[in-house]
């Protein structure tokens, strides 16, 4: 069933729909949208989580664990790319003759009939998607949206709105972005990643090129003009091209730029026609200035005035786990961050250095053995912005790939800066090591796309136990 057939299937009447892997960021968002559209939705996932309670409150029937009986009564099954082919629910659905559709096809179906802004790229797409959504909400457009993270300005990562616009994060993993039907395509960056899917960077660029080719002739592609790869994948685009840059020679550029310690950036942005605006961000990092420029460029293509965009961005709070301040206790600041690619690691540590005046202690958990191996040399040089580094063992999502042939211990041994990189075989060990390292005035940044985020609460709890008398003894 393709996206067009699925759209017709869903619009013909209310359906009983089962989602396998419903706890994932994208899948839980889809469950919410389908429920808002009036469908009867059920789902299952391996583990329970806070997000599943929210779905239950919405009326979604959620089971923990996968079992064949969970698909009973369903008319169609939606599954994420993380679901193995031998999953018992997927197997049962096939035996029952039910249509089984990948998550990306459903996302594509939801973009049909909407003016769709699709944000793609190996870095920055979640924050940029959330920025664009935030601006449209502030401007009372009531957009529909599908975001792969939890926004801090509004309560949900997905919505089915009354407005004409759909904003969607376009995921390059498993080539999911090719199922979308964009009107405006935003490409923030194209770098080596997900090579377990693509094999080579050239294959990855070919997929981005195919994504651009899906745009109609009256559509728009907006890119980071400073990226040679973005230029390559849009070179033959048969539509309007727009761009942003920190260096000049783009539709929107940054002409003045200054970081604020403990906050974000002040900047002046200027259009090619000479329109100037003051941009004020409360979230740190030069990469977020680029994300804001991407937001301005995309919304300008939709006819949203840049003055409206920069005003809304001045109170943009960010996305959970994107340099998220989790607390400050006994003069130690704890930040949670999702960075899991060398470029992202460097950007987050640079943001930490601009934002914080003291030592930076990084606890990093690599995500996937394949990514760690393919980008090993880049990872070795990515942590120079940290004063101390604890490397937890590689996070491997169940069933995603074969067990890794290397360990975080190998990466720790190869890193020369920081000079005393520590290896932690478990998250418990990582917590013990970081609590032994921290001093007053430190910033601890807990970083990675796996379950390393679970260290934040026990770390803050530990810091609370340190009374002034015995503190840091």
Residues with a known catalytic role: 125-126, 169
Specify the 3-state DSSP secondary structure of 332: strand
CB atoms within 10 A of CB 279: 23
DSSP-H helix ranges across 314-368: 342-355
> Over the range 379-390, which residues count as b (16 or more CB within 10 Å of their CB) and which as e?
bbebbebbbbbb
Q: Across the strands, what pairs with 223?
A: 187, 243
SS percent in the chain: helix, strand, coil, step 5: 35, 25, 40
Q: Three-state SS string across 180-225, please?
A: CCCCEEEECCCCCCCHHHHCCHHHHHHHHHHHHHCCCCCCEEEEEC
- Based on its alpha-carbon atoms, the radius of gyration of the chain, rounded to whole angstroms, reads 22
Residue 88, C-beta contacts closer than 8 angstroms, at least 6 positions apart: 66, 67, 68
Contact by Cβ (8 Å): 242, 297: yes
Distances (CA, A) of 31 to 3, 60, 133, 443: 17, 8, 19, 37
Q: Across the strands, what pairs with 336?
A: 324, 446
Q: Take residue 213 and report the two structure tokens written for it.
A: 């080719």
Q: Across the strands, what pairs with 319?
A: 151
- Give the C-alpha separation, 277 to 284, whole Å: 19
Contact by Cβ (8 Å): 179, 107: yes
């Amino acid at each position: 069933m393709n996206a067009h057939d699925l759209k017709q299937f869903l619009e013909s009447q209310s359906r009983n729909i089962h989602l396998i892997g419903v706890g994932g960021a994208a899948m839980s968002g889809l469950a919410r949208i389908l429920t808002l559209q009036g469908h009867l939705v059920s789902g299952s996932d391996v583990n329970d989580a806070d997000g599943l309670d929210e779905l239950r409150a919405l009326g979604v029937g959620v089971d923990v664990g996968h079992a064949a009986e969970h698909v009973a009564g369903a008319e169609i099954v939606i599954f994420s790319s993380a679901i193995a082919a031998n999953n018992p629910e997927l197997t049962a659905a096939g035996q029952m003759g039910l249509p089984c559709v990948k998550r990306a096809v459903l996302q594509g179906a939801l973009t049909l009939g909407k003016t769709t802004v699709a944000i793609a790229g190996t870095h920055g797409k979640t924050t940029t998607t959330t920025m664009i959504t935030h601006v449209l909400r502030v401007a009372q457009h009531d957009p529909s949206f599908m975001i792969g993270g939890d926004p801090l300005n509004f309560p949900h990562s997905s919505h089915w709105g009354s407005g004409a616009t759909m904003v969607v994060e376009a995921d390059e993993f498993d080539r999911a972005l090719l199922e979308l039907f964009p009107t405006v395509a935003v490409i923030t960056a194209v770098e080596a990643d997900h090579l377990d899917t693509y094999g080579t960077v050239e294959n990855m660029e070919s997929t981005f090129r195919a994504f651009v080719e899906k745009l109609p002739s009256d559509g728009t592609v907006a890119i980071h003009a400073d990226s040679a790869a973005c230029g390559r994948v849009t070179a033959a685009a048969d539509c309007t091209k727009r761009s942003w840059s920190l260096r000049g020679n783009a539709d929107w550029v940054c002409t003045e730029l200054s970081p604020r310690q403990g906050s974000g950036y002040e900047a002046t942005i200027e259009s090619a026609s000479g329109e100037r605006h003051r941009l004020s961000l409360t979230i740190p990092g030069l990469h977020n200035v680029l994300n804001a420029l991407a937001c301005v460029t995309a919304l300008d293509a939709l006819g949203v005035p840049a003055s409206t965009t920069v005003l809304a961005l001045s109170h943009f709070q960010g996305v959970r786990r994107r340099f998220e301040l989790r607390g400050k206790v006994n003069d130690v600041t704890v930040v949670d961050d999702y960075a899991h690619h060398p470029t992202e690691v460097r950007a987050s540590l640079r943001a930490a250095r601009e934002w914080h005046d003291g030592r930076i202690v990084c606890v990093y958990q690599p995500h996937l053995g394949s990514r760690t191996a393919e980008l090993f040399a880049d990872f070795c040089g990515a942590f120079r912005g940290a004063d101390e580094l604890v490397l937890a063992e590689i996070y491997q999502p169940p069933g995603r790939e074969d067990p890794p042939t290397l360990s975080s211990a190998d990466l720790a041994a190869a890193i020369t800066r920081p000079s005393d990189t520590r290896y932690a075989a478990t998250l418990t060990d990582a917590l013990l090591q970081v609590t032994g390292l921290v001093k007053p005035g430190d910033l601890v940044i807990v970083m990675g796309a796996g379950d390393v985020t679970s260290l934040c609460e026990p770390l803050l709890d530990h810091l609370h136990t340190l009374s002034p008398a015995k503190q840091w003894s």
